[in-house]
Amino acid sequence: MGEKHGYLPFPKSFKTICIHHTKEPKRETCKETMAPIVTSNICRLESAGGPSQVIKGRLLNPTRSVLENLIAKLCKTKYALTYASGIGAIAAVFSLLKSGDHLLCNDDIYGGTSKTLIQVCPNFGICTSFIDLTDLKSIPEYIRPNTKLIWTENPTNPTLEVMDLCGLSKVAHEHKLMLAVDNTFLSPYLQRPAELGVDLVVNSVTKYMNGHSDVIMGVVCTSRDNLYERLKFIQQHFGHIPAPFDCYQVIRSLKTLPIRMMRHMSSGIKLAQYLENHPKIEKVLNPALPSHPQHDLFKSQACGHSGMLAVYLKGTDLDTTHKLIDSLKLFVHAVSLGGYESLVQMPTLLSHRDTPDKLKKISGITDNLIRVTTGLENIDDLIADWEQALDKI
């Protein structure tokens, strides 16, 4: 195109200007309150004589750094490292181990975690013993010379068992083991395991910390310098880092985390109380309820509970559970949790489908178990939805 074809000529140097003009904004013109999104994956080297501290965006991104510093502050740790997903953060912790190492894991655990431990870790020579970590006195008998890590969740997924985090920390450190706790169900607003002696705190940021069902991310927090350096290397050289825009979204979301968690907690308790007294419900597990077997322990180490419930229907088979879930109108049948919308799912068929039957039986993952997460809707509407659904079974 151009003058030869009767068109006006293209502007001179337009392509060059597109690429090179206004690379750095004049910061003095805007004192922004929100961290800017830095999307560049290239870092200008300071001189030809040698690389600067950072040579590419995979190694360091300013938006990611803002988020990690914020999360570390919220979790009361020295460091936080974000990863491209919650399972990516979990895998980063397991990557601290080497071939021949052994770890202990609670027998009630997220299906994605157990699948990683059972189907992936053995490929790298790492083996796992699934045990009851609520029984502190029995843990030492499972510790081997090659045991390096204790892994658990608090509360657990999906039956909401509560761990004695101070007791676990004491056992782990007496035997020179690392202790890692998945804190996803509570978020750092309601529980800060690092304050109770936990070495590594994991959160699926996808869930409550982001809270808007539009980001996939995970984070590992620690105050131990040696663990931070190893996790940083894993983050940078395995390359499963979150995108700058996702980091920006989570920075935005964390500004409302306390407000959202209070609403989740309030609705979760009210729905649990309603269901606990319904004749078609066998049992409701919510650590905030006095009926929960570890209610007092839970209160001693958390500020409250989220919107997570474990609900067992009374004397029902798989078809009846299906019918109830299909009858709910406001509760979306889906995996995940922690967003603005209320969700239900059957762990035995979804999140824990691939969990070995032996672990399902030990953990109480049965066909009449429904995992419930209350969102931010009106609680009266949520209770009415369950009422009409229960009337149909």
Arithmetic mean of pLDDT, 214-239: 96
Task: Specify which residues 285 forms β-bridges with.
Answer: 310
Rounded Cα distance, 188 and 358, in Å = 32
The more confident residue out of 148 and 11 is 148
Same-domain status, 187 and 86: yes
**Quick one: pLDDT band at residue 1, thresholds 50, 70, 90?**
very low
DSSP bridge pairs for 295: none
Same domain assignment for residues 242 and 109: yes
Task: Give percent above pLDDT 70 in the chain.
Answer: 88
**Burial of residue 61, with CB atoms counted within 10 A of its CB: 0-12 exposed, 13-18 middle, 19 or more buried:** buried
| Domain count of the fold of the chain | 2
Q: Is residue 278 a contact partner of residue 241, using CB atoms and an 8 Å limit?
A: no
Choose the final residue of a domain: 220, 254, 288: 254
DSSP lists the bridge partners of residue 79 as 222
Range of the domain at 346: 257-390
Whether residue 109 lies inside any domain: the answer is yes
When comparing pLDDT for 360 and 280, which is higher? 280
CATH number, position 317: 3.90.1150.10
Tell me what pLDDT residue 2 has: 47
133 burial (CB, 10 Å; 0-12 / 13-18 / 19+) is buried
pLDDT at 50: 58
What does pLDDT average to over the chain? 89
Residue 79 belongs to a domain with what CATH number? 3.40.640.10
Q: Distance between CA atoms of 240 and 218, rounded to whole angstroms?
A: 10
pLDDT tens per residue, range 9-37? 767 776 665 556 555 555 555 566 777 78
Residue 18 placed within a domain: no
Task: Tell me: cis bond preceding 193? Omega within 30 of 0 counts.
Answer: no
88 and 123 co-located in one domain: yes
Burial of 393 (0-12, 13-18, 19+ CB in 10 A): middle
DSSP state of 11: P
CA dist., res. 326 & res. 333, Å (int)? 8
Give pLDDT tens digits for 91-125: 999 999 999 999 999 999 998 999 999 999 999 99
Q: What is the mean pLDDT of residues 152-181?
A: 97
Q: 108 and 233: one domain?
A: yes
Work out the average pLDDT over 295-315.
94
Place of tokens 């109108």: 329
Is 327 in the same domain as 347?
yes
Indicate if 296 and 159 belong to the same structural domain.
no
The string of pLDDT tens digits covering residues 243-264 is 999 999 999 999 999 999 999 9
* 199-205 long-range contacts, CB within 8 A, separation 24+: 199/172, 199/224, 199/227, 200/93, 200/227, 201/75, 201/77, 202/86, 202/89, 202/90, 202/93, 203/71, 203/75, 203/86, 203/89, 204/85, 204/86, 204/87, 204/89, 205/71, 205/82, 205/86, 205/250
